[in-house]
Amino acid sequence: MNDADGIRAVRTFFEGLFPRSCATCGRGFATLREYILTTTPLGPTIDYDIGNARANAGPQVGAIVAARCSCGGTVALTGVSMPAVLSRRLREWIKTETERRGSNSAEFLEFLRNRIRQEVLDAPT
């Protein structure tokens, strides 16, 4: 898997999580683009399965990406429902890339988040 494949896979998965709404105020987000435009990233992306020796053995927790709604509530996107095969392929890709780049998973996940946000915003509407 290369960067283009990995980014496409993650973006497609997260786009499939919409529509969503804020649990605090009920504001709806019809698309990932709307979510990106109307929320503010909150903290780093966290993946509870990267580096977990048991990650291939059981249920996945996956990544959690949080953003602040305009009401102040938190709207989180998670990888819990990501198919296990895709989750494993992405973890392998992330591991390979962090080793190749001499970075850690937190830095790579931030790169991934920023790249997907930029691609979504740059896409024609």
SS (H, E, C) 14-83: HHCCCCEECCCCCCEECCHHHHHHHCEECCCCEECCCCCCCCCCCCCCCEEEEEECCCCCEEEEECCCCC
Percent of the chain with pLDDT over 90: 60
Select, from the ranges 21-30, 92-101, 104-113, the one with the highest average predicted confidence (pLDDT): 21-30
Euclidean distance between CA atoms 43 and 49, whole angstroms: 18
Average pLDDT over residues 25-41: 97
Beta-carbon count within 10 A of 25 CB: 13
Q: How confident is the model at residue 35 (pLDDT cuts 50, 70, 90)?
A: very high
CB 35 within 8 A of CB 68: no
Euclidean distance between CA atoms 110 and 45, whole angstroms: 6
Strands 46-47 and 40-41: unpaired
pLDDT attached to residue 49: 66
Is pLDDT above 50 for 54? no
Residues with Cβ within 8 Å of 2's Cβ and at least 6 positions away in sequence, in order, are: none
Q: Residue 60: how many CA atoms within 13 Å on its side-chain side? A: 22
What secondary structure letter does DSSP report for 81? T
pLDDT attached to residue 55: 47
This prediction has a pTM of 0.86
pLDDT attached to residue 60: 59
* Mean pLDDT of all residues belonging to the chain: 88
